[in-house]
Structure 1
Amino acid sequence: MWGALLRRGGRGAGGLRRLASSGPPWSQVVSEAEKIVGYPTSFMSLRCLLSDELSNIAMQVRKLVGTKHPLLDTARGFVYDSRNNLQMRGLVVLLISKAAGPSTAELSFQHNMVSGIYSSQRSLAEITELIHTAFLVHRGIVNIGELKSCDGPLKDMQFGNKMAVLSGDFLLANACTSLAQLQNTKVVELISSAIGDLVQGIYYENSKSSEENCLTDDIGISTWKEQVYLSHSALLAKSCQAAMELAKHSAEIQDMAFQYGRHMSMSHKLHSDLQPFIKECSSDTLSFSLNSAPVVLHQEFLGREAWIKQIREAQGKGNIMDYKKLREAIKAGKGVTSAIDLCRCHGNRALAALERFPPSEARAALANIVCAVTRFP
């Protein structure tokens, strides 16, 4: 189904190239894009992260050193995370703002622009990052009932949960305050609805966490895409649209920005889901989500009964999953190649949305980001 779009070669309208099998690595793509928007986006939420309130929380989080509380990994990611790049969403908002430029209705306000981006759009990029970071912190809440002795003392893990709730709420409150200061009703509505989408998507993820080893009958790739849109794509898509609204662009340009954010983030999630199946794994026990895209597609091709049989064959004594055995079974099927096709399909749709924007360094950087998340060995 996805092959027809992926086989289209050559260049699209306006000189945009279709997906290539080679190109600069992710870190280089991000570094070059940051130069285009004017400053490293790794400092985008620094004003909030270095506030007195959050600095006090950071000091308290040091008490978790020596435990396995996930809040520690999230905190480390604020400083450096070259693999996932926590600031990717804000960077995309800035790039698409610069790619669109000022609208005819806003030409008289170009003095408010720095490096081709309005100050309100830069504020929006920071808000997007704060919201994303707040939910990352909230995801670091652990289920106390499932802890093992090696995870750390119970009182420390409970303390970590309190810190995750408080610091996540603090970031979200700051984001909402900054959002109100933009004084744009439609932008407030868009970002507020994105927060609602995130809550709904994460609720779904948490409800499935206890069923990691037993997929429900109604799980399919269409359901997977609906849930990934809520938990991963809605915030970026609506932030891109909101950036166009702040510059008073037309409804058509707003929709194209939305489509780029949606399809690029879907490609990003698919690329992430595929990593356990396309990388050489040094550990035989490397686990992966049974609700990831390659697994869901594998189940659809295989059929429910055959899938349950494979699950049972991969479970050893005590129902402990042999992920190496299950991974090899999935790689032997069609799920992995279909997920790669789907990733590139969303990538091509993101590139198609960019064709409505005039050629520029910013548009080329947005295209490079798509190529980086749709390239596989």
Structure 2
Amino acid sequence: MSLRCLLSDELSDVAMHVRKLVGTKHPLLNTARGFIYDSRNNLQMRGLVVLLMSKAAGPSQHTASDLLTQDMVSGIYPSQRNLAEITELIHTAFLVHRGIVNLKEWTNSDGPLKDMQFGNKMSVLSGDFLLANACTGLAQLNNTKVVELISSAIGDLVQGTYHEMPNSLEDNSLTDEINMVTWEEQTFLSHGALLAKSCQAAMELAKHDKDAQGLAYKYAKHLSLGHKLNSDLQLFVKSSSADPVTFSFNSAPVVFHRQIVGQERWCHQLQQAKTIGRQIDYTKLRSTIKLEKGVTSTIDLCHYHGNKALESIQCFPSSEARSALENIARAVTKF
């Protein structure tokens, strides 16, 4: 994320108010803590991929007169570096906005209602501030196509976030007929569109042709889908049976499982996994899911997207940047 934004007076004022949330249970604190320490080391992944893609593609053979090779630093144009910062700002803004608490589901165990209300106001303000900075930086790139691409990515994020809004258990497990085709479409909107269109925009800033832009877009699209599949699989391939576990019924292994066994059998399995208090025994349900082919099908799909990402960048010249992109694509297929 841009240091210019982090060190601005306006954000310092926001941070002073956010400190008032210390000691509460509002999710904004966890989000802010993640900016400082991210144990999974993927916080800045989007900006990194944009920079690596820019360097791997290099200058275009059709470079316009206003793009001079000598303006490049370490093989990357200043506008591409700015785009990487903008991508991170947008991603961070949506992370902050996702921390807004649904007050209709608030209970006394969540802490005082006034803390949740204040935290929500700060989430909206902080996220909007970051998004406004991103839009200002976007306009300063002076490229209407790039503005159009990133603007559409923001729209995709909004739509994808809407689809990800949690439903009640009954809605989530019994009436939602989501299949893997729908899952991929919705996941791309919320997890892949920003990176894919940012990589395409980075190629546009260097005046690469549509073919190169398409390859960059495909790499980021398949990488994002592979990364989400890998994330969804973790509870099914690494956790032991003794570990406490909960998972979304819209995670990829569960969606695959429901698609394979059919809705009637899935409803029966849900009933069997319920305890006396009508709560879901997730450990038992996970064991049931692992007996079928949902998990292995998800692993196969993850490998497919990883391989497609690798294929997309083979036309770029051999370089350290391309090797780094290849290593990232391979990493999402390891469990």
Quick one: which amino acid aligns to residue 190 of structure 2? S
Quick one: which amino acid aligns to residue 223 of structure 1? T
Q: Distance in 2 between matches of 1:375 and 1:336?
A: 14
Q: CA deviation at 1:165?
A: 0.5
Equivalent position to 2:13, from 53, 56, 71: 56
1:329 aligns with 2:288: yes
Task: Please name the residue that 2:261 is paired with.
Answer: 302
Task: Please name the residue that 2:94 is paired with.
Answer: 135
Q: Distance in 2 between matches of 1:178 and 1:79?
A: 23
Are residues 200 and 84 of structure 1, via their aligned partners in 2, closer, same or farther at CA, if it must alter by over 3 Å?
farther
5+ residue gaps, structure 1, are: 1-43
Task: Please name the residue that 1:184 is paired with.
Answer: 143
Q: Distance in 2 between matches of 1:223 and 1:147?
A: 30
Q: Distance in 2 between matches of 1:94 and 1:138?
A: 26
Given that 2:241 and 2:283 are in contact with CA atoms closer than 8 Å, whether structure 1 keeps it comes out as no
Given that 1:212 and 1:290 are in contact with CA atoms closer than 8 Å, whether structure 2 keeps it comes out as no
Quick one: which amino acid aligns to residue 58 of structure 1? A
Q: Distance in 1 between matches of 2:83 and 2:242?
A: 41
Q: CA deviation at 1:107?
A: 7.7
Q: CA deviation at 1:81?
A: 0.6
Q: Distance in 1 between matches of 2:168 and 2:4?
A: 34
Q: CA deviation at 1:210?
A: 6.4
Specify the SS of the correspondent of 1:375. coil
Task: Please name the residue that 2:29 is paired with.
Answer: 72
Provide TM-score, normalisation by structure 2.
0.95
Larger RCO: Structure 1 or Structure 2 (Cα < 8 Å, ≥ 6 residues apart)? 1
Given that 2:64 and 2:207 are in contact with CA atoms closer than 8 Å, whether structure 1 keeps it comes out as no
Structure 1 stretch 115-124 or stretch 51-60: which is displaced more?
51-60
Are residues 87 and 211 of structure 1, via their aligned partners in 2, closer, same or farther at CA, if it must alter by over 3 Å?
farther
Task: Please name the residue that 1:17 is paired with.
Answer: none
Given that 1:63 and 1:156 are in contact with CA atoms closer than 8 Å, whether structure 2 keeps it comes out as no
1:263 aligns with 2:222: yes
Q: RMSD of aligned C-alpha atoms? A: 1.6
Task: Please name the residue that 1:96 is paired with.
Answer: 53
Quick one: which amino acid aligns to residue 236 of structure 2? F
Given that 2:310 and 2:326 are in contact with CA atoms closer than 8 Å, whether structure 1 keeps it comes out as yes
* Structure 1 segment 162-241 matched on structure 2, within 5 A: 162-206=121-165, 208=167, 213-241=172-200
Task: Please name the residue that 2:272 is paired with.
Answer: 313
C-alpha deviations, 1:307-330, integer Å up to 9, x for none?
011111112234311111111111
Q: CA deviation at 1:105?
A: 2.4
Equivalent residues, number:
333
Are residues 94 and 212 of structure 1, via their aligned partners in 2, closer, same or farther at CA, if it must alter by over 3 Å?
farther
Given that 1:141 and 1:164 are in contact with CA atoms closer than 8 Å, whether structure 2 keeps it comes out as yes
Quick one: which amino acid aligns to residue 291 of structure 1? N
Specify the SS of the correspondent of 2:165. helix
Q: Distance in 2 between matches of 1:264 and 1:213?
A: 27
Given that 2:150 and 2:198 are in contact with CA atoms closer than 8 Å, whether structure 1 keeps it comes out as yes
Q: Percent identity?
A: 69
Quick one: which amino acid aligns to residue 136 of structure 1? L
Structure 1 stretch 135-144 or stretch 46-55: which is displaced more?
46-55
Q: Distance in 2 between matches of 1:208 and 1:220?
A: 17
Q: CA deviation at 1:117?
A: 0.3
Task: Please name the residue that 1:36 is paired with.
Answer: none
5+ residue gaps, structure 2, are: none
Q: Distance in 2 between matches of 1:170 and 1:209?
A: 32
Are residues 215 and 183 of structure 1, via their aligned partners in 2, closer, same or farther at CA, if it must alter by over 3 Å?
farther
Task: Please name the residue that 2:62 is paired with.
Answer: 105
Task: Please name the residue that 1:341 is paired with.
Answer: 300
Q: CA deviation at 1:45?
A: 1.9
Q: Distance in 1 between matches of 2:299 and 2:185?
A: 18
Task: Please name the residue that 1:31 is paired with.
Answer: none
Quick one: which amino acid aligns to residue 161 of structure 1? N
Given that 1:190 and 1:239 are in contact with CA atoms closer than 8 Å, whether structure 2 keeps it comes out as yes
Q: Distance in 2 between matches of 1:284 and 1:115?
A: 46
Are residues 84 and 142 of structure 1, via their aligned partners in 2, closer, same or farther at CA, if it must alter by over 3 Å?
farther
Are residues 358 and 211 of structure 1, via their aligned partners in 2, closer, same or farther at CA, if it must alter by over 3 Å?
farther
Structure 1 stretch 108-117 or stretch 176-185: which is displaced more?
108-117
Q: Distance in 2 between matches of 1:293 and 1:86?
A: 22
C-alpha deviations, 1:224-249, integer Å up to 9, x for none?
00100111111000000000000000
